[in-house]
Structure 1
Amino acid sequence: MRVLHVNKFLYRRGGAEGYLLDLAALQRAAGDTVAYFGMSHPENDSPLPYAGHFPSEVELEPAPSGLRPRTVAAGRMLWSPSSRRGLARVIDDFRPDVLHLHNIYHQLSPSVLAAARSAGVPCVLTMHDYKLACPSYQLLDRGRPCQACVTDGPLQAARRRCKDGSLSRSALLAVESWLHRELGLYDPVQVFVSPSGFLADVMRRAGVFPDRLRVVNHFVDLNGIAAKEEPGGGVVFAGRLAPEKGVDVLVEAVAALPDGVPVDIAGDGPARPALEALAERVAPGRVRFHGRLDKARLHDLVRSAAVVAVPSRWHENQPMAVLEAFACGVPVVASDLGGLPELVEPDVDGRIVPADQPAALADALRDLLADPGRAHRMGLAGRAKVARDFAPDRHLSRIRELYAEAAEARPVRRRSAPAPVGGGVAR
């Protein structure tokens, strides 16, 4: 099978990109031919044979300064002719059996779906966030959980100024989502994949193609991931350092943990300077920031811990941080939002605590740190869950079923030429 993955970033920027790249590797190992389409970016993996057809880089976080750059960025969010042209050329050369789309919003826009529809290629879209129901992605209104747009439509984002309190930024996101819905620009997608039941429920309530929604868990390949062998250790957080991740809640909780407990934070992001300053103020010398780590070093760090903290203050979908902690044989203390309670079973492989409450987080962490043997057994229970419910072969089989479903549901192809062999694509 020839699979073309489409995502705005093509390097391990976050969970969506990690999943995309891991799935592509799994598919290649199974004999599929895989190619990529995305936005030009200096950190993109290489080689990317079709990089010459990618649209130019545009940075939206933070928003560009100046009237012209902002106007260009806004136009790109609504519709990107360069993305459509570029993907059309890649489709013509690569001749995919299916387009597997991921985060195409903003930098690519749903214009890429127009290219797929013109070529008659079936489309499957994995939803890694809430963009199709929430214009600002995260079900947050200035840092607080919010589902106003889910029930009352995307224009609520402008009324509530939910994007950083800015009317102009919130209005742009609201208009973008409203216009894309009104024009039916996501109609060419035959199957929408939700990694969590929570996200799927949000999309159903928002009226986002409820008949095309399918829930498919992510996967973790346990081959090459050793389990923690001995009890003990401290606390680890792994993820993007952004306000919605609640890392500040963990830092605030550190002061209530026993003296000498190491707290390690792996990852990078816009909140890092503020978090480092907070740690120096409330827990001097007790929090270590490691920056972004490759997988091997991250897994080593996780295995050194007694527990992994996921203190998110937004509705996480199905974060790989939880699954990879379990794969390493380490239990997880997570907040009670989004898909997190679907992953963590209290007192079996972790604990669930109220979001945004440092005292509750500290209590749960302290409880596991006080009984290293119990924490170790819980971590191994998490690893057993991953082996049972999140196996790669199970995931790949389900994804292939959805590819077949999308092919069955697509309009008749407009092209009839046979697919060429090769095309300069890695196998």
Structure 2
Amino acid sequence: MKILSIVSTFPPFVYGGGEVSALSLTRWLAAKGHRMGVLTAAEDGQSELNGEVIDGLEVWRLRYRRQYTYSTHMKAPKWQKPLWYLQDHLDPDNRRKMSRVLDEFRPNCVMVHVIAGLGYNSLYEIGRRDIPTVYFMHDLNLVCAKGAFFSNGKECVGRCLACVAIGKLRFSAVSSIARLALCSPSKANLDAAAEYIPVKKFLNAVLLNANEYPEPTVIHSSSTKIRFLYVGRLHAAKGVHILLSALDSLAKSFEFSVNVVGSGPEEQVLRERFGDRGWCHFHGHLTEQQVSDFMEQSDVLCIPSVWQENSPGVVIHALSQGLPVIGSDKGGIPELVSNNRNGLLVPAGDTAAWRNALEAVLREPKTLEDWRANLAQETELFDQDQLGQKLLHFIVETAEMQAGNAIRKAYAR
């Protein structure tokens, strides 16, 4: 097959989990013999590419009329954002660029992973050519401007007027594609979107991302004290302050350590509050290889998110490596973490509940050994080839969908 993968950022500028998953699947498909094209945005200082081959992928890296690129949007001043959003939804140049790439590459199927920064209105060009398309729902961007239902330090209880308006523009563009399929890595994410848009009207699937993670370069060894690990952005939505507050209240009674891997807007505040604790160590952003090595030298990963996580790649990374997970009972996390089998689920945002859960593990560390033993029997659940084959089957079915076909089926993982 000839497949065009659309993703806002491309190495070495990979912003988040959606981009990582897009690149993993694109490379996996190329390794299986499919001809893969990539449409992405040029970052500041990068030259444009027009179909040049990079690592077996034909890459169109184009420059868009924006004050900043998608990979730097978190650092952009607020006054620039309204114009950026207007350009991302209405600028006709978005459509011209998409039109040129589609006509030059002529794909059998399109995979839309992250379209922000490339122009949602450019999707009309895919629809105009009636190209079968799989839209990967890495977040809730079809119903929320930020894709997270989290604003001003708290989870949104509904949609604001801005999200309603932007969501309408986005879904109008996406649904202009007659042969459209929606793929989400978690049922929770699909169901959350279905509250606002007719997801079930389209061919849809719940399938895990076919990610591949680096093998650790160190060997797991036991420790006399439990080694907790957090990996992710340091943002209010991630609930890191809840985890560290819970551990802080246990520090006088137990010996343990926690390694915090990641950076973000909350980093300075967290360092100022907990940086002087002997048990707490901040490491900033690390490579995936370094994360694999940290996981191998840890006893349990903690994911205390207070927002609707989709299917956190770091959880899959940990479980595939045999590392148990203690996570919030929110979003797609419960679809990955089986309570008291490969980890523990804790009420999201409840510091007391997190304290109790962590204390239980500290009092009975053998629990972690049991969870690790269970995970040793389930490594095939996250095998990239198995997950990739499921996604490929869905992509092929989408590509074979007849024009005007009204049949819509739902898939389960």
TM-score normalised over the length of structure 2: 0.84
Is 2:175 the counterpart of 1:186? yes
Give CA deviations for 1:330-383 in whole Å, capped at 9, x if unaligned. 111101111111111111110111111223223222322444443133124235
Q: Which amino acid aligns with 2:301?
A: V
Contact 1:54 1:83 in 2 (8 A): no
Q: Does residue 301 of structure 1 match 2:301?
A: no
CA distance 1:178–1:222, change in 2 (3 Å): closer
Identity percentage of aligned residues: 25
**RMSD of Structure 2 on Structure 1 (CA):** 2.8
Question: Residue type matched to 2:2 in 1?
Answer: R
Structure-1 residue corresponding to 2:410? none
- Which residue does 1:138 correspond to in 2? 148
Q: Which amino acid aligns with 2:389?
A: S
**Residue 215 of structure 1: aligned partner:** 206
Q: CA separation of 1:7/1:72 partners in 2, compared to 1, >3 Å: closer, same or farther?
A: same
Amino acid at match of 1:124: V
1:197 to 175, 187, 200: 187
Which of 350, 355, 378 aligns to 2:343? It is: 350
2:387 matched to 1:392? no
1:23 matched residue in structure 2: 25
Structure 1, 286-295 or 123-132: larger mean CA deviation: 286-295
Q: Deviations over 1:6-59 (max 9, x none)?
A: 112223322111111111222122122222112222599995864553425435
Q: Partner residue of 2:411? A: none
SS in 2 for 1:102: strand
Q: Which residue of 2 aligns with 1:122?
A: 132
The structural deviation recorded for 1:393 is 2.2
Matched, 1:53 2:62: yes
Is residue 104 from structure 1 mapped to residue 99 from structure 2 by the alignment? Answer: no
C-alpha separation in 1, matches of 2:351 and 2:17: 25
Would you say 1:360 and 2:371 are equivalent positions? no
Equivalent AA in structure 1 for residue 300 of structure 2:
V
Question: 3-state DSSP class of the match of 1:6?
Answer: strand
Distance 2:209 2:373 in 1: 19
Q: Rate the CA distance shift 1:132–1:325 in 2: closer, same or farther, 3 A.
A: same
Residue of 73, 81, 99 corresponding to 1:88: 99
TM-score normalised by structure 1 residue count: 0.81
- Partner in structure 2 of residue 423 of structure 1: none
TM-aligned CA distance change 1:207 to 1:174, over 3 Å: closer
Letter in 2 for 1:87: M
Report the residue type matching 2:99 in the other structure: A
Contact 2:108 2:132 in 1 (8 A): yes
Counterpart-to-counterpart distance in 2, 1:237 and 1:347: 19
Measure the CA separation in 2 of the matches of 1:255 and 1:304: 22
Q: What is the CA distance between 1:226 and its match in structure 2?
A: 7.9
2:266 pairs, out of 264, 268, 271, with: 271
Letter of the 1:83 partner, please give it.
Answer: N
Deviates more, 1:261-270 or 1:131-140: 131-140
Q: Using the TM superposition, give the Cα deviation of residue 255 of structure 1 relative to its aligned residue in structure 2, in angstroms.
A: 1.0
The whole-number CA distance in structure 2 between the counterparts of 1:39 and 1:345 is 39
Deviations 1:171-223 (A, max 9, x none): 3x442223344x45433161000111111222223233313221112245478
Q: Counterparts in 2 of 1:225-240, with a 5 A limit?
A: 229-232=220-223, 233-240=226-233
Structure number having the greater strand percentage: 2
Secondary structure of 1:404's counterpart equals helix
Aligned with 2:370 (options 349, 371, 377): 377
* Matches of 2:373 and 2:46, distance apart in 1: 35
Q: Give the direction of change, closer, same or farther, for the CA distance of 1:143–1:257 in structure 2 (3 Å limit).
A: same
Letter in 1 for 2:109: V
**Structure 1 range deviating more: 20-29 or 140-149:** 140-149
